[in-house]
Structure 1
Amino acid sequence: MLDLYRLLGFSMPNTEKMAACAATLLLNPTDVIGAIVRSLVCFSVLVCLLGLPSVKLSAQDQPATSNYESDPNEEGLKPLQSIKLSIAPTLKDEDGKDQAFPKDESQKYLADKPSEFHKTGFSRDWEVTSVEWAPTELAYPDLYFEDAQLERNGYAYGRLQPLMSGARFFLTIPSLPYRMGANPPTEKIYELGHFRPDDDVPPYIVKMPRSRTAGIWQGVVVTGLVFIFP
């Protein structure tokens, strides 16, 4: 075998290099996978550029085609070739040819008729229905920090509103015992008593309710704080 290589003029391959290459491929299988992927990509590119050889089917292997006019398919769908882009309505005569629709004679017919005017709601036998506002059954605990003039009625102080809201918040904290005594957190408050939606609400002062229980709670809390923080 070695003499045959020499007679043909081929140089003998280095066995050490071949062994090293084989060992590298065995130790690094990712190189083998990369080579296979590159080969598949090259083959796909060649197929896209050159194309696959076409095979002519025989008359027996070709799919059967049906004419929609004479033999519609099972689903009742017509082929795309018979669909037109025009959506204008057409009629067909006995020979199957398209013919135009008859002219609109409604204007000529209505021209001889007298005109009538119908008033909405008076010329029809409709029953009169009335809709009345009713408050919702929404209930929630007392909103101790609520600003009804701002949040419900829309009255504001312009650019001073952030300062007024902050002052109202910090001034409400010392009066929390009184407010919680007048309206306990467990008591439900409904929407009754407020102005109706879209009413012209005049500005007014929201006063705290008078309650003996609330005064006792406020006194107890203030006295307790005095003894706790002398």
Structure 2
Amino acid sequence: MPLSINLSLLPISHLIFIPICWFSVFLYLRVLYIIHQLRKNVFKSSFFLIIRMHAITDLLMFLYVELVARPRKYRVHNLFEAANDHWIPQLLWFSLTVIKNAMFLGYTVVAVNRCSEIFRFRNHVKFWSPTLILIVYLSEWLAPTIVLIPLFYTGNHNFSLIAAPSGGLFLRASPEFIKMCSRTSLYRYFASWSAHFCISSLLCIWCRLCRKLCQTHSSVLIDRNLQISTHQQT
């Protein structure tokens, strides 16, 4: 069957935001290119290496939404058809869950990296070596994959693509699987941890900034007092 494109089911808001999304990704890739080009002098910290690696996860999520999730829900193309207890919806659901968990794990790593710069400032550069960052990034994918494979591929969970009244396709599975999946969703825990680390980092940065401002203000006052006392003596 030849590929056909149909945009009739897409809401108007999607037609507006799709070009904006692709343009944003183009700018994102441009920023990543600049970071990569200047990685040896300007953007040489571990933070930018983590950002460059995490960009792979971000781009995979973007491509999944634009090429799989949105076309499936609104039948943009005819590559997906209604299917009951089939491996395609099983693979789609599994891929989305793995990417989502890897994405939030990456946010947690970024938050930990920012926190370690504050709490372990002297050992920060040595600790976040390129080898460690690569191992951590691979673990972001391996950990959810290892955990989720038995969940998705053990037992018959009746993964299906069901035709929706609006004309699109919905992903469906057995109620037991949905309950089990919601209980074992790693990304919820890592999202809360990421938020906690980010808030802690911001508070620590604010405290360090206030301390530096106080030290600067104190040194200025001391210099002024010395100048005044010297002037009075002369």
TM-score over 0.5 (shorter chain): no
Question: TM-score under structure 2 normalisation?
Answer: 0.19
- Structure with the larger helix share: 2
